[in-house]
Structure 1
Amino acid sequence: MNDSSSPIDVAPLFEPIAIRGLALANRIVMAPMTRNFSPGGVPGEDVAAYYRRRAEGGTGLLITEGVGIDHPAALGDAGLGESNLPHLHGEAALAGWRRVVDAVHAAGGRIVPQLWHQGVMREPGTGPHPEAGSLRPSGLWGPAGRMTSIDPAYAERVQAPTRPMSEGEIQDVIDAYARSARHAREAGFDGIAIHGAHGYLIDTFLWDETNHRTDAWGGDRRARARFAAEVVRAIRREAGESLPIFFRFSQWKQQDFKARLAATPQELEEVLGPIADAGVDVFDGSARYFDRAEFEGSPLNLSGWARKLTGKLAMAIGGIGLDRGFYDSKRDGRAGGSDNVALLMRRFERGEFDLVAVGRALLNEPRWTEKLRHGHALPAFDEQRMKELY
C-alpha cells in the first residue's frame, strides 16, 4: 500500500477473533521463521526482545520459529546449515521461553510455539544428539532429482535409504510431542502450533513418496494421516480444551517443490479430515504464493480449501508484502517488496480464510501491522534492514 494510491480498507483484518480460549485483537499473525539465535537450544534476552518488538508493532499473534520437541532426533543440520536452534525441554530452555512469553504478553501480544521434528531432513551425526539416528516412516528421504534448492552435497549424504521407524519409535515421538505441549502450557504459551509441512517428519507420513508402510501407519491418504492425527490427539490431551491447535501442512516439499499431497479437493479432504477430527482448530496451508488457486475450476487457495473441506478456521500465507517466495529468492538472490494488500483483501473479504500470516515483511519492519492499520506506506523490502532488525 502506498500513499499515492486509493486507500485500501483493511479494517476487516483488525476485527477481533476468539479461537477456543485465545482472544486475538486482529487477524495478522507472524509466521514461523527459523532463526538460529538460541545457543544450546536456549532462547535468551535477545530472542525475547525480537518477539516483543513484533508484539509492540500490533501483530495479533506470533508463531515462533520451529522449536524442537523433547526427542533426541528432533533437531540437527537439515541441509540449511542450522545451528543454535531452540528446543522446548530442559530447565534452561523453558525458563528462556517463559521470558519470551512474558515479554510478548507485557506488550499486549499473544504467542504460540511451533513444535518441530525434522525427521528425514535431519542429517545423522548432527545436532545436540549426534548419536541419534534418522527417523523415516519407510526409511526413505524422498525421490532424487526433483526440483529443489537443497544443497546437492547434503542431499547426497542423506538420500540413502535407512530402516523404517519401528512401532516403538513412532510412539516415542508422539509422546515427545505431548511432553512438549505440556511444557508449552506450563511456560504460559497461548496455544500450540504443529509443523506438519515441507518434508519434515509429520509430512513424510502424509506423503506417498516417503510413506510406503503396509501397517496401520501407511496405506491410503486417510491411513497415512494417522500419525499426524495421533500427534494432534496427544497434544490436545496435554493442552486441555482452552488452548487452540494450529496445524501447518503443504503440498510442496523441500525434497520436491512440485510434490502434491492431493490433486483434487476430495483427495485433500482425505488427508485433512482425520487431522481435523483429532482436534485441530486452525489449518495453516503453507503455499509459496497466497494468491494462487490450488485446484482447477476454483479460485480458492490451499488454506481456502482447508477451510471449505474441514469447517475449521484457516490461515493464509505466502509472499504477503513480497514479490518472491522464500525459496525462489534464495535460489536467484532476489526479493522485492510487493503492494499486494488489495489482492489479499479481496480474498479475505469473501471469507476464504480467517487469519493472515506475514513472514519476511515482518522481519523487514517490526511495526508492519501498525503501519498497515494506519494507512502508512509499507517499506520496500530491504534485506540488509531485515538482518539489522532480526
Structure 2
Amino acid sequence: MTTPASLFTPIQFAGLNAAHRVVMAPMTRARSSQPGDVPNALNAQYYAQRASAALIVTEASQISPQGKGYSFTPGIYSDAQVEGWRGVTQAVHAEGGRIFLQLWHVGRMSHPDFHQGELPVAPSAVPFEGQIWKVDPVTGLGAMVDCPTPRELSRSEIAQIVDDFRQAARRAIDAGFDGVEVHGANGYLIDQFLRTTSNTRTDEYGGSRSNRLRFLREVIDAISDEIGAERTAIRLAPFLTARGMDCPDILPTILEAAQYLQEKGIGYLHLVEADWDDAPVFTESFRQALRERFARPIIVAGNYDRARAEWVIAKGYADLVAFGRAFVGNPDLPLRLERDLPLASLDPATLFGGNAQGYSDYPAAAATAQA
C-alpha cells in the first residue's frame, strides 16, 4: 500500500524535480524599471530570496504593449525586458530554484492611458465592472480606476495575439526560464473568451463551448509547438464571479478545457480558488470531476494553510499548493511551514509599486530569531 503524498513529499513535474510541493504563486508587485517595464536587480533579489519554493511562478508579464493593464508591470516583448528577466532567472537558479514566467494579456482589464488613448480590446464590446491599478503621471500616486467598455477584436487581431503568446514563450526560454504559465484566469483575455458573459461573438470564437475554447486551444498549441508541452502550463479560475465573469456555463467549459489540456500533455494546470469571505465554494464534486479529466499535475491556490494543503494533496485533488500573500512576508516559507514556525505578516500598503520596503526587506526566520 502506497503512502499518500504530503506537502513535503518530493515530486517530479513539468520537467522539474522538487523536494516538496510549496509553490510561490504569481503576484503583481509593480516594481519594474521605467520607462519600458523592464525587470531589474531588485526583482532578481526578491525572487532569489524565495528560491526554496518548489516552483516560483512570476508576476504576470504582458506579452505585448496591448496586453498591459496595470502600471509598472513587467513585459516580455522587448530585448531589454528579456535581458532584465535573464538577471532574475540567473539569480534564482544560482540559489537552486525553479522558475516559470506567467504570460499575460489583460484584454478589457485595462485603460486607454496605457494605449495612447485607444480603448482596451476584448472578445466583445461588453460593458462591465472592473478596476485596475494606475499611477497618475503628475502626482506619482497609484489608485484603482474604472475600466471602460472595450472594443471587439477582429479575427486577424486574435491571430496576432496568439502569435504574441508564442513569441513571448520563446523569449521567456531565451531569458532562462524553466517554462511558462499562461494566465487564463481572473477575468483576463483568455478567461474573457471562455465566458458567455464576456464573449458574445457569433463567429468561430463565440457561442458554443468548443468555440469559446478555441482561443485557449490556439494559444496553448502555439506555445507547446514553440517550447514543448511539458514546459507549458496554464492558470484557470473556475469559480470566479467578479469583473463581470459570472458565467453559468463556465464549469463545464473548464472541464472540457481540462480534457484538452490532458491530451496536450501540458506541464501542469494551476487552479485559482476564490479566497474572499463570501466567495463561491470550490466544491469537492468539481474537484473530482476535474481530476477525472486531468491526471497530470495540478497546482491549487487560494488562502491555503498547511492543514488545508495537506488535505487537498492527500485527497488527490492537487499535487502542489501555491501560496501568495504568505510568501510576501516570509521568503523562506517552505521552511517555516515544515517546522511550524510563526509566519510574519505583510504590509499591505507596500504591495504595489515602491522600492525594497515591503518587497525584499522581509527577513528569513533565522534572521528573525537572531534579531
Q: So what's the TM-score if we normalise by structure 1?
A: 0.78
Aligned partner (choices 322, 326, 332) of residue 367 of structure 1: 332
Within 2, Cα distance between the matches of 1:246 and 1:25? 22
Aligned partner (choices 124, 142, 148) of residue 158 of structure 1: 148
Structure-2 residue corresponding to 1:349: 314
Structure-2 residue corresponding to 1:306: 290
Shift of residue 253 of structure 1?
A: 4.8
Paired residues for 1:121-140 under 5 Å: 121-124=109-112, 126-127=113-114, 129-130=115-116, 133-140=119-126
Structure-1 residue corresponding to 2:32: 38
For residues 108 and 12 of structure 1, do their structure 2 counterparts lie closer, same or farther at Cα, with a shift above 3 Å needed?
same
C-alpha deviations, 1:169-199, integer Å up to 9, x for none?
0000000000000001111111110101111
| Alignment of 1:27 onto 2:5 | no
Aligned partner (choices 166, 186, 206) of residue 194 of structure 2: 206
Shift of residue 313 of structure 1?
A: 1.9
For residues 130 and 149 of structure 1, do their structure 2 counterparts lie closer, same or farther at Cα, with a shift above 3 Å needed?
closer
Paired residues for 1:1-390 under 5 Å: 12-39=6-33, 40-55=36-51, 58-69=52-63, 71-76=64-69, 82-124=70-112, 126-127=113-114, 129-130=115-116, 133-142=119-128, 154-155=145-146, 158-159=148-149, 162=151, 164-256=152-244, 259-260=246-247, 262=249, 266-289=252-275, 293-295=281-283, 299=284, 305-320=289-304, 340-380=305-345, 383=348, 388-390=358-360
Within 1, Cα distance between the matches of 2:154 and 2:359? 44
C-alpha deviations, 1:218-250, integer Å up to 9, x for none?
122222011011000000011125524233334
Shift of residue 305 of structure 1?
A: 4.6
Which runs of no fewer than 5 residues in structure 2 stay unpaired? 134-142, 352-356, 361-371
Which runs of no fewer than 5 residues in structure 1 stay unpaired? 1-9, 77-81, 321-339
For residues 218 and 315 of structure 1, do their structure 2 counterparts lie closer, same or farther at Cα, with a shift above 3 Å needed?
same
Query: Which SS does the other structure have where 2:27 is aligned?
Result: coil
Residue type of the partner of 1:237? D
Structure-1 residue corresponding to 2:364: none
Within 2, Cα distance between the matches of 1:87 and 1:225? 25
Shift of residue 260 of structure 1?
A: 4.0
Within 2, Cα distance between the matches of 1:97 and 1:261? 39
Within 2, Cα distance between the matches of 1:209 and 1:261? 8
For residues 110 and 261 of structure 1, do their structure 2 counterparts lie closer, same or farther at Cα, with a shift above 3 Å needed?
farther
Within 2, Cα distance between the matches of 1:198 and 1:178? 21
Within 2, Cα distance between the matches of 1:153 and 1:96? 27
Shift of residue 13 of structure 1?
A: 1.5
How many residues matched?
Answer: 340
Shift of residue 150 of structure 1?
A: 7.0
- Contact 1:236 1:279 survives alignment (8 Å): no
Query: Which SS does the other structure have where 2:237 is aligned?
Result: strand
Shift of residue 85 of structure 1?
A: 1.1
Structure-2 residue corresponding to 1:337: none
C-alpha root-mean-square deviation of aligned residues, in Å? 2.9
Residue type of the partner of 2:106? Q
C-alpha deviations, 1:14-60, integer Å up to 9, x for none?
222222422223211100011110022111100000000011xx211
- Contact 2:110 2:132 survives alignment (8 Å): no
The percent of aligned pairs where both chains have the same amino acid is 33
Within 2, Cα distance between the matches of 1:204 and 1:279? 24
Shift of residue 378 of structure 1?
A: 2.9
C-alpha deviations, 1:293-338, integer Å up to 9, x for none?
534xxx3565x65333322321111112xxxxxxxxxxxxxxxxxx
Query: Which SS does the other structure have where 2:65 is aligned?
Result: coil
- Contact 2:268 2:296 survives alignment (8 Å): yes
Query: Which SS does the other structure have where 2:274 is aligned?
Result: coil
Q: So what's the TM-score if we normalise by structure 2?
A: 0.82
Query: Which SS does the other structure have where 2:220 is aligned?
Result: helix
For residues 242 and 228 of structure 1, do their structure 2 counterparts lie closer, same or farther at Cα, with a shift above 3 Å needed?
closer
Shift of residue 204 of structure 1?
A: 0.6
Residue type of the partner of 2:41? E
Residue type of the partner of 1:37? R
- Contact 2:229 2:267 survives alignment (8 Å): no
Within 2, Cα distance between the matches of 1:153 and 1:368? 30
Within 2, Cα distance between the matches of 1:149 and 1:86? 19
Within 1, Cα distance between the matches of 2:55 and 2:211? 33
